[in-house]
Protein backbone atom coordinates (compact mmCIF):
# COMPACT_ATOMS: atom_id res chain seq x y z
CA UNK A 1 0.00 0.00 0.00
CA UNK A 2 1.09 3.57 -0.63
CA UNK A 3 -0.31 7.09 -0.44
CA UNK A 4 0.02 8.20 -4.08
CA UNK A 5 -3.49 8.63 -5.49
CA UNK A 6 -5.41 10.67 -8.05
CA UNK A 7 -7.44 13.62 -6.82
CA UNK A 8 -9.23 16.17 -8.97
CA UNK A 9 -7.59 14.76 -12.08
CA UNK A 10 -3.98 14.85 -10.88
CA UNK A 11 -1.69 12.46 -9.03
CA UNK A 12 -1.07 13.49 -5.43
CA UNK A 13 1.50 12.48 -2.85
CA UNK A 14 -0.76 12.33 0.20
CA UNK A 15 -2.35 15.79 0.05
CA UNK A 16 0.25 17.43 -2.25
CA UNK A 17 -0.56 17.95 -5.94
CA UNK A 18 2.44 16.71 -7.95
CA UNK A 19 1.74 19.19 -10.76
CA UNK A 20 2.17 22.06 -8.31
CA UNK A 21 5.17 20.38 -6.70
CA UNK A 22 6.89 19.93 -10.06
CA UNK A 23 6.35 23.59 -10.86
CA UNK A 24 8.06 24.58 -7.62
CA UNK A 25 10.88 22.04 -7.43
CA UNK A 26 11.54 21.36 -11.10
CA UNK A 27 11.92 17.93 -12.63
CA UNK A 28 13.11 15.30 -12.20
CA UNK A 29 12.73 14.81 -8.44
CA UNK A 30 12.15 12.08 -5.90
CA UNK A 31 9.12 12.37 -3.63
CA UNK A 32 8.63 10.39 -0.40
CA UNK A 33 5.44 9.86 1.57
CA UNK A 34 5.69 10.07 5.35
CA UNK A 35 2.41 8.21 5.82
CA UNK A 36 3.67 5.29 3.73
CA UNK A 37 7.00 5.10 5.57
CA UNK A 38 5.25 5.11 8.93
CA UNK A 39 2.62 2.58 7.90
CA UNK A 40 5.13 0.10 6.47
CA UNK A 41 7.25 0.29 9.62
CA UNK A 42 4.22 -0.20 11.87
CA UNK A 43 2.91 -3.16 9.85
CA UNK A 44 6.28 -4.89 10.17
CA UNK A 45 6.68 -4.05 13.85
CA UNK A 46 3.11 -5.08 14.70
CA UNK A 47 3.69 -8.48 13.10
CA UNK A 48 6.05 -9.18 16.01
CA UNK A 49 3.96 -7.61 18.74
CA UNK A 50 4.81 -8.97 22.17
CA UNK A 51 8.25 -10.14 21.06
CA UNK A 52 11.56 -8.62 22.20
CA UNK A 53 12.65 -7.16 18.86
CA UNK A 54 14.94 -4.50 17.46
CA UNK A 55 13.94 -3.47 13.96
CA UNK A 56 16.94 -1.83 12.32
CA UNK A 57 15.96 -0.06 9.10
CA UNK A 58 18.58 -0.73 6.43
CA UNK A 59 19.86 2.74 5.59
CA UNK A 60 21.40 1.68 2.30
CA UNK A 61 17.88 1.45 0.84
CA UNK A 62 17.28 5.18 1.31
CA UNK A 63 19.68 7.28 3.38
CA UNK A 64 17.88 10.63 3.29
CA UNK A 65 18.07 12.22 6.75
CA UNK A 66 14.35 13.01 6.77
CA UNK A 67 13.52 9.39 5.97
CA UNK A 68 15.84 8.18 8.74
CA UNK A 69 14.38 10.67 11.23
CA UNK A 70 10.82 9.71 10.31
CA UNK A 71 11.53 6.05 11.04
CA UNK A 72 13.57 6.80 14.16
CA UNK A 73 10.56 8.63 15.59
CA UNK A 74 8.58 5.43 15.09
CA UNK A 75 11.14 3.56 17.21
CA UNK A 76 13.30 2.09 14.47
CA UNK A 77 16.93 1.28 14.94
CA UNK A 78 19.33 1.39 12.00
CA UNK A 79 21.45 -1.07 10.04
CA UNK A 80 24.51 0.73 8.61
CA UNK A 81 27.24 -0.42 6.23
CA UNK A 82 29.67 2.52 6.37
CA UNK A 83 30.85 5.30 8.65
CA UNK A 84 28.90 7.70 6.47
CA UNK A 85 25.66 5.84 7.14
CA UNK A 86 26.54 5.66 10.84
CA UNK A 87 27.04 9.41 10.91
CA UNK A 88 23.70 9.89 9.16
CA UNK A 89 21.94 7.75 11.76
CA UNK A 90 23.52 9.66 14.63
CA UNK A 91 22.77 13.01 12.98
CA UNK A 92 19.11 11.99 12.73
CA UNK A 93 19.03 11.30 16.46
CA UNK A 94 19.10 7.50 16.41
CA UNK A 95 20.42 6.17 19.76
CA UNK A 96 23.72 4.32 19.21
CA UNK A 97 22.31 1.42 21.22
CA UNK A 98 19.87 0.83 18.34
CA UNK A 99 22.48 0.67 15.56
CA UNK A 100 24.14 -2.41 14.05
CA UNK A 101 27.10 -2.25 11.65
CA UNK A 102 27.14 -4.64 8.67
CA UNK A 103 29.32 -5.05 5.59
CA UNK A 104 32.30 -7.12 4.44
CA UNK A 105 34.84 -4.29 4.25
CA UNK A 106 34.71 -2.26 7.45
CA UNK A 107 37.93 -0.32 7.91
CA UNK A 108 39.68 -0.02 11.26
CA UNK A 109 38.83 3.68 11.35
CA UNK A 110 35.15 2.83 10.85
CA UNK A 111 35.33 0.22 13.60
CA UNK A 112 36.93 2.74 15.94
CA UNK A 113 34.26 5.36 15.23
CA UNK A 114 31.46 2.85 15.82
CA UNK A 115 33.01 1.63 19.07
CA UNK A 116 33.41 5.18 20.33
CA UNK A 117 29.77 5.87 19.47
CA UNK A 118 28.67 2.84 21.50
CA UNK A 119 26.64 0.95 18.88
CA UNK A 120 24.61 -2.17 19.67
CA UNK A 121 26.87 -4.54 17.76
CA UNK A 122 28.80 -5.58 14.67
CA UNK A 123 27.83 -8.16 12.06
CA UNK A 124 31.25 -9.77 11.40
CA UNK A 125 31.84 -11.37 8.00
CA UNK A 126 35.28 -13.00 8.18
CA UNK A 127 37.99 -14.22 10.52
CA UNK A 128 40.23 -11.38 9.33
CA UNK A 129 37.60 -8.83 10.27
CA UNK A 130 37.16 -10.41 13.71
CA UNK A 131 40.89 -10.15 14.38
CA UNK A 132 40.97 -6.53 13.20
CA UNK A 133 37.98 -5.60 15.36
CA UNK A 134 39.62 -7.30 18.34
CA UNK A 135 42.75 -5.20 17.86
CA UNK A 136 40.77 -1.95 17.55
CA UNK A 137 38.66 -2.76 20.62
CA UNK A 138 41.81 -3.53 22.62
CA UNK A 139 43.34 -0.21 21.63
CA UNK A 140 40.26 1.59 22.95
CA UNK A 141 39.79 -0.57 26.03
CA UNK A 142 36.28 -1.43 24.84
CA UNK A 143 34.33 -4.59 24.08
CA UNK A 144 32.62 -5.13 20.74
CA UNK A 145 29.43 -7.18 20.75
CA UNK A 146 29.48 -9.32 17.61
CA UNK A 147 27.39 -11.71 15.57
CA UNK A 148 29.05 -13.64 12.79
CA UNK A 149 27.08 -13.39 9.58
CA UNK A 150 26.44 -16.99 8.55
CA UNK A 151 26.18 -17.93 4.88
CA UNK A 152 23.74 -20.87 4.78
CA UNK A 153 24.15 -21.58 1.04
CA UNK A 154 20.42 -21.04 0.48
CA UNK A 155 19.15 -19.75 -2.87
CA UNK A 156 16.86 -16.79 -2.18
CA UNK A 157 15.36 -17.06 -5.70
CA UNK A 158 15.92 -13.42 -6.41
CA UNK A 159 18.06 -11.47 -8.91
CA UNK A 160 21.66 -12.70 -8.97
CA UNK A 161 22.99 -9.25 -8.10
CA UNK A 162 20.98 -9.05 -4.86
CA UNK A 163 21.40 -12.65 -3.69
CA UNK A 164 23.66 -12.81 -0.64
CA UNK A 165 23.16 -16.23 0.95
CA UNK A 166 24.71 -18.65 -1.55
CA UNK A 167 28.16 -20.21 -1.17
CA UNK A 168 29.55 -18.23 -4.11
CA UNK A 169 28.39 -14.87 -2.69
CA UNK A 170 30.94 -12.65 -0.94
CA UNK A 171 28.85 -12.25 2.20
CA UNK A 172 29.16 -14.07 5.48
CA UNK A 173 31.24 -16.98 6.75
CA UNK A 174 30.70 -20.56 5.58
CA UNK A 175 28.17 -22.51 7.62
CA UNK A 176 30.69 -25.25 8.36
CA UNK A 177 33.21 -22.74 9.77
CA UNK A 178 30.83 -21.23 12.33
CA UNK A 179 31.76 -23.39 15.34
CA UNK A 180 35.48 -22.75 14.94
CA UNK A 181 34.98 -19.01 14.43
CA UNK A 182 32.86 -18.62 17.56
CA UNK A 183 35.49 -20.52 19.53
CA UNK A 184 38.16 -18.18 18.14
CA UNK A 185 36.13 -15.05 18.90
CA UNK A 186 35.54 -16.18 22.47
CA UNK A 187 39.32 -16.22 22.96
CA UNK A 188 40.04 -12.93 21.18
CA UNK A 189 40.33 -9.96 23.57
CA UNK A 190 37.82 -7.15 23.10
CA UNK A 191 35.14 -9.34 21.47
CA UNK A 192 31.89 -10.62 22.92
CA UNK A 193 30.34 -13.16 20.53
CA UNK A 194 26.73 -13.01 21.70
CA UNK A 195 24.64 -13.13 18.52
CA UNK A 196 24.16 -14.86 15.18
CA UNK A 197 23.34 -13.03 11.95
CA UNK A 198 21.94 -14.13 8.60
CA UNK A 199 20.73 -12.24 5.53
CA UNK A 200 20.15 -14.24 2.35
CA UNK A 201 19.17 -11.54 -0.14
CA UNK A 202 16.79 -8.81 -1.20
CA UNK A 203 13.42 -8.59 -3.00
CA UNK A 204 12.47 -12.09 -1.88
CA UNK A 205 8.86 -12.97 -2.73
CA UNK A 206 8.82 -16.62 -1.64
CA UNK A 207 8.87 -17.53 2.05
CA UNK A 208 10.36 -21.00 1.54
CA UNK A 209 14.01 -19.80 1.36
CA UNK A 210 13.48 -17.92 4.63
CA UNK A 211 12.02 -21.05 6.21
CA UNK A 212 15.04 -23.16 5.26
CA UNK A 213 17.61 -20.53 6.24
CA UNK A 214 16.00 -19.72 9.60
CA UNK A 215 15.76 -23.42 10.50
CA UNK A 216 19.49 -23.79 9.87
CA UNK A 217 20.18 -20.70 11.96
CA UNK A 218 18.05 -22.03 14.81
CA UNK A 219 19.94 -25.32 14.78
CA UNK A 220 23.23 -23.42 14.84
CA UNK A 221 22.18 -21.38 17.88
CA UNK A 222 21.45 -24.63 19.70
CA UNK A 223 24.86 -26.05 18.79
CA UNK A 224 26.65 -22.87 19.88
CA UNK A 225 24.87 -22.82 23.23
CA UNK A 226 25.75 -26.47 23.75
CA UNK A 227 29.38 -25.51 23.12
CA UNK A 228 29.14 -22.95 25.92
CA UNK A 229 28.48 -19.73 24.00
CA UNK A 230 25.91 -17.26 25.33
CA UNK A 231 23.73 -16.26 22.38
CA UNK A 232 21.28 -13.58 23.47
CA UNK A 233 20.23 -12.19 20.08
CA UNK A 234 19.58 -13.48 16.59
CA UNK A 235 19.64 -11.13 13.60
CA UNK A 236 17.45 -12.50 10.80
CA UNK A 237 18.31 -9.74 8.32
CA UNK A 238 15.79 -8.35 5.86
CA UNK A 239 14.87 -9.18 2.29
CA UNK A 240 11.06 -9.07 2.05
CA UNK A 241 10.08 -7.96 -1.44
CA UNK A 242 7.78 -5.15 -2.55
CA UNK A 243 5.14 -5.06 -5.33
CA UNK A 244 6.94 -3.49 -8.29
CA UNK A 245 4.17 -4.63 -10.65
CA UNK A 246 1.21 -3.34 -8.70
CA UNK A 247 -1.47 -5.90 -7.87
CA UNK A 248 0.17 -8.48 -10.18
CA UNK A 249 3.20 -8.78 -7.90
CA UNK A 250 2.13 -9.04 -4.26
CA UNK A 251 4.88 -10.30 -1.91
CA UNK A 252 4.19 -12.11 1.37
CA UNK A 253 2.66 -10.02 4.14
CA UNK A 254 4.82 -9.36 7.22
CA UNK A 255 2.31 -11.39 9.26
CA UNK A 256 3.07 -14.45 7.12
CA UNK A 257 6.79 -13.75 7.44
CA UNK A 258 6.41 -13.49 11.22
CA UNK A 259 4.80 -16.93 11.34
CA UNK A 260 7.84 -18.36 9.51
CA UNK A 261 10.13 -16.67 12.05
CA UNK A 262 8.06 -17.99 14.95
CA UNK A 263 8.21 -21.56 13.69
CA UNK A 264 11.99 -21.45 13.24
CA UNK A 265 13.17 -19.15 16.02
CA UNK A 266 10.25 -18.83 18.41
CA UNK A 267 11.72 -21.19 20.98
CA UNK A 268 15.19 -19.63 21.09
CA UNK A 269 14.40 -17.29 23.99
CA UNK A 270 16.48 -14.41 22.68
CA UNK A 271 16.07 -10.98 21.19
CA UNK A 272 15.20 -10.91 17.49
CA UNK A 273 16.78 -8.30 15.21
CA UNK A 274 15.59 -7.48 11.71
CA UNK A 275 17.04 -5.30 8.94
CA UNK A 276 14.18 -4.38 6.55
CA UNK A 277 14.96 -1.70 3.99
CA UNK A 278 13.20 -2.01 0.65
CA UNK A 279 10.02 -3.30 2.32
CA UNK A 280 9.73 -0.01 4.24
CA UNK A 281 11.03 2.54 1.72
CA UNK A 282 10.26 1.05 -1.70
CA UNK A 283 6.60 1.96 -2.12
CA UNK A 284 7.07 5.16 -0.13
CA UNK A 285 8.83 6.96 -2.99
CA UNK A 286 8.39 7.91 -6.62
CA UNK A 287 10.53 9.61 -9.25
CA UNK A 288 8.70 12.36 -11.14
CA UNK A 289 9.86 13.23 -14.66
CA UNK A 290 8.78 15.48 -17.51
CA UNK A 291 8.52 14.39 -21.15
CA UNK A 292 10.96 16.27 -23.39
CA UNK A 293 10.39 14.81 -26.86
CA UNK A 294 8.63 12.06 -28.78
CA UNK A 295 10.69 10.17 -31.32
CA UNK A 296 9.43 7.60 -33.80
CA UNK A 297 12.13 5.20 -34.98
CA UNK A 298 11.81 2.56 -37.69
CA UNK A 299 10.88 -0.06 -35.12
CA UNK A 300 10.10 1.75 -31.88
CA UNK A 301 8.38 4.71 -30.29
CA UNK A 302 10.68 6.53 -27.90
CA UNK A 303 9.42 8.84 -25.17
CA UNK A 304 12.42 10.93 -24.14
CA UNK A 305 12.19 12.26 -20.59
CA UNK A 306 14.40 14.36 -18.32
CA UNK A 307 15.18 11.52 -15.89
CA UNK A 308 17.88 9.05 -16.82
CA UNK A 309 19.80 6.02 -15.67
CA UNK A 310 22.01 8.24 -13.53
CA UNK A 311 18.89 9.18 -11.54
CA UNK A 312 17.41 5.66 -11.33
CA UNK A 313 19.77 2.89 -12.38
CA UNK A 314 17.66 -0.09 -11.27
CA UNK A 315 16.11 -0.84 -14.71
CA UNK A 316 19.57 -0.90 -16.31
CA UNK A 317 21.46 -2.58 -13.45
CA UNK A 318 18.90 -5.15 -12.32
CA UNK A 319 16.54 -5.44 -15.33
CA UNK A 320 14.03 -4.03 -12.86
CA UNK A 321 10.41 -3.29 -13.66
CA UNK A 322 8.78 -0.15 -12.25
CA UNK A 323 5.19 0.77 -12.99
CA UNK A 324 4.96 4.19 -14.66
CA UNK A 325 1.92 6.40 -14.21
CA UNK A 326 0.83 9.59 -15.91
CA UNK A 327 0.45 12.43 -13.42
CA UNK A 328 -2.54 13.64 -15.46
CA UNK A 329 -5.30 11.14 -14.65
CA UNK A 330 -7.05 11.68 -17.99
CA UNK A 331 -3.85 10.90 -19.90
CA UNK A 332 -3.50 7.68 -17.98
CA UNK A 333 -6.99 6.60 -19.07
CA UNK A 334 -6.27 6.99 -22.79
CA UNK A 335 -5.46 3.86 -24.84
CA UNK A 336 -1.92 2.71 -24.07
CA UNK A 337 0.90 2.73 -26.60
CA UNK A 338 3.91 0.42 -26.64
CA UNK A 339 7.01 2.55 -26.15
CA UNK A 340 10.43 2.90 -24.55
CA UNK A 341 10.81 5.52 -21.82
CA UNK A 342 14.38 6.73 -22.23
CA UNK A 343 16.49 9.47 -20.70
CA UNK A 344 19.05 12.01 -21.92
CA UNK A 345 22.16 10.10 -20.80
CA UNK A 346 24.52 9.17 -23.63
CA UNK A 347 24.17 5.40 -23.21
CA UNK A 348 22.04 2.81 -24.98
CA UNK A 349 21.32 1.40 -21.55
CA UNK A 350 19.68 4.66 -20.47
CA UNK A 351 16.04 3.65 -20.07
CA UNK A 352 13.32 3.51 -17.45
CA UNK A 353 11.06 1.11 -19.38
CA UNK A 354 11.33 -0.88 -22.59
CA UNK A 355 8.58 -2.18 -24.88
CA UNK A 356 5.89 -1.31 -22.38
CA UNK A 357 2.25 -0.44 -22.99
CA UNK A 358 2.04 2.93 -21.24
CA UNK A 359 -0.04 6.11 -21.42
CA UNK A 360 0.36 8.03 -24.73
CA UNK A 361 2.59 10.71 -23.23
CA UNK A 362 2.97 14.05 -25.01
CA UNK A 363 5.68 16.67 -24.76
CA UNK A 364 5.48 18.48 -21.45
CA UNK A 365 3.54 15.73 -19.68
CA UNK A 366 4.56 14.63 -16.20
CA UNK A 367 5.08 10.97 -15.35
CA UNK A 368 5.83 9.07 -12.14
CA UNK A 369 8.07 6.06 -11.77
CA UNK A 370 6.45 4.12 -8.96
CA UNK A 371 8.08 2.15 -6.13
CA UNK A 372 11.28 4.18 -6.43
CA UNK A 373 11.82 4.93 -2.75
CA UNK A 374 14.44 2.20 -2.27
CA UNK A 375 17.75 2.04 -4.14
CA UNK A 376 16.83 5.07 -6.21
CA UNK A 377 18.38 8.30 -4.98
CA UNK A 378 21.06 6.41 -3.04
CA UNK A 379 22.45 4.95 -6.27
CA UNK A 380 22.14 8.14 -8.30
CA UNK A 381 25.22 9.72 -9.84
CA UNK A 382 26.24 12.82 -11.75
CA UNK A 383 27.21 10.83 -14.87
CA UNK A 384 27.33 13.04 -17.97
CA UNK A 385 27.81 15.90 -15.46
CA UNK A 386 24.09 15.86 -14.73
CA UNK A 387 23.01 17.38 -11.45
CA UNK A 388 21.84 15.06 -8.69
CA UNK A 389 18.08 14.84 -8.32
CA UNK A 390 16.45 16.66 -5.38
CA UNK A 391 14.47 14.71 -2.78
CA UNK A 392 11.17 15.95 -1.38
CA UNK A 393 9.23 14.53 1.56
CA UNK A 394 5.53 15.14 2.14
CA UNK A 395 3.32 14.86 5.20
CA UNK A 396 -0.37 15.45 4.62
CA UNK A 397 -0.63 18.64 2.59
CA UNK A 398 2.87 19.82 3.57
CA UNK A 399 6.12 19.23 1.72
CA UNK A 400 9.76 19.97 2.35
CA UNK A 401 12.86 19.75 0.20
CA UNK A 402 14.87 17.12 2.02
CA UNK A 403 17.85 17.38 -0.32
CA UNK A 404 18.13 20.30 -2.72
CA UNK A 405 19.24 20.02 -6.32
CA UNK A 406 22.83 21.30 -6.43
CA UNK A 407 23.74 24.09 -8.83
CA UNK A 408 26.30 23.82 -11.62
CA UNK A 409 28.43 26.17 -9.54
CA UNK A 410 28.28 23.64 -6.68
CA UNK A 411 29.32 20.89 -9.04
CA UNK A 412 32.32 22.80 -10.36
CA UNK A 413 33.37 24.08 -6.94
CA UNK A 414 33.85 20.49 -5.73
CA UNK A 415 36.80 20.04 -8.08
CA UNK A 416 40.13 21.80 -8.51
CA UNK A 417 42.40 22.23 -11.50
CA UNK A 418 45.91 20.99 -10.80
CA UNK A 419 48.28 23.93 -10.22
CA UNK A 420 50.61 22.96 -13.07
CA UNK A 421 47.70 23.33 -15.50
CA UNK A 422 47.21 26.97 -14.54
CA UNK A 423 49.27 29.44 -16.64
CA UNK A 424 51.83 31.38 -14.64
CA UNK A 425 53.19 34.80 -15.43
CA UNK A 426 56.69 34.67 -16.87
CA UNK A 427 59.43 35.79 -14.48
CA UNK A 428 61.34 38.63 -16.17
CA UNK A 429 64.56 40.41 -15.21
CA UNK A 430 64.39 43.78 -13.52
Radius of gyration for the chain, computed over Cα atoms and rounded to the nearest angstrom = 24
Tell me if 146 sits within 8 A of 192, measured CB to CB. yes
The mean pLDDT of 363-377, rounded to a whole number, is 98
pTM: 0.93
Tell me if 392 sits within 8 A of 25, measured CB to CB. yes
The mean pLDDT of 44-67, rounded to a whole number, is 96
Answer yes or no: is 195 a known binding residue: no
Q: How far apart are CA 164 and CA 151, in angstroms?
A: 8
Helix (H, G, I), strand (E, B) or coil at 247: helix
Express each pLDDT in 81-124 by its tens digit. Answer: 999 999 999 999 999 999 999 999 999 999 999 999 999 999 99
Architecture of domain 4-31+282-413: Beta Barrel (2.40)
pLDDT band at 426 (very low <50, low <70, confident <90, very high): low
Q: How far apart are CA 265 and CA 399, in angstroms?
A: 42
Express each pLDDT in 254-280 by its tens digit. Answer: 999 999 999 988 889 899 999 999 999
Architecture of domain 34-280: Alpha-Beta Barrel (3.20)
DSSP symbols for 333-365: TSPPEEEEEE-SSSSTT-EEEEEEEE----TT-
Q: What percent of the chain has pLDDT over 70?
A: 93
Q: pLDDT at position 204, please? A: 78
pLDDT band at 210 (very low <50, low <70, confident <90, very high): confident
Answer yes or no: is 15 a known binding residue: no
Phi, psi of 398 (to 5 degrees): -105, 155
Answer yes or no: is 131 a known binding residue: no
Answer yes or no: is 405 a known binding residue: no
Question: Average pLDDT of the chain?
Answer: 92
Is 346 among the catalytic positions? yes
pLDDT band at 1 (very low <50, low <70, confident <90, very high): confident
DSSP symbols for 113-182: HHHHHT-SEEEE-SHHHHHHHHHHHHHHT--EEEEEEEE------S-GGGB-SSTTSSSSEEGGGHHHHH
Least confident residue range of 70-74, 87-91, 164-168, 404-408 = 164-168
Q: Which of 31, 56, 194, 346 is catalytic?
A: 346
Q: Which helix (H) or strand (E) holds 271?
A: strand 271-274
The mean pLDDT of 32-44, rounded to a whole number, is 97
Domain spans of the chain, in order of start: 4-31+282-413, 34-280
Cβ-Cβ contacts under 8 Å for 320 (sequence gap 6 or more): 244, 314
The mean pLDDT of 395-419, rounded to a whole number, is 97
Answer yes or no: is 275 a known binding residue: yes
Least confident residue range of 137-146, 259-268, 351-360 = 259-268
Answer yes or no: is 182 a known binding residue: no
Amino acid sequence: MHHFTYRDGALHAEGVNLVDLAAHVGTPFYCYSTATLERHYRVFADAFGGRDTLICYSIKANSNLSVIKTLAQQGAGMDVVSEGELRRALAAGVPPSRIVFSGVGKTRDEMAHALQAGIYGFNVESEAEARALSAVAQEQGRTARIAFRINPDVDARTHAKISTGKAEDKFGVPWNDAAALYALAADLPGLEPCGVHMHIGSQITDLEPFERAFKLLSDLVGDLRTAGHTIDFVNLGGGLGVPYRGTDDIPPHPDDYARVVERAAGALDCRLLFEPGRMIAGNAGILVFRVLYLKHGDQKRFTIVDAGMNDLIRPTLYDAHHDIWAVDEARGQEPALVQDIVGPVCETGDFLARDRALPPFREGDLGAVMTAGAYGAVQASSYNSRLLVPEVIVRGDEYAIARARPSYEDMLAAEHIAPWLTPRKAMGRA
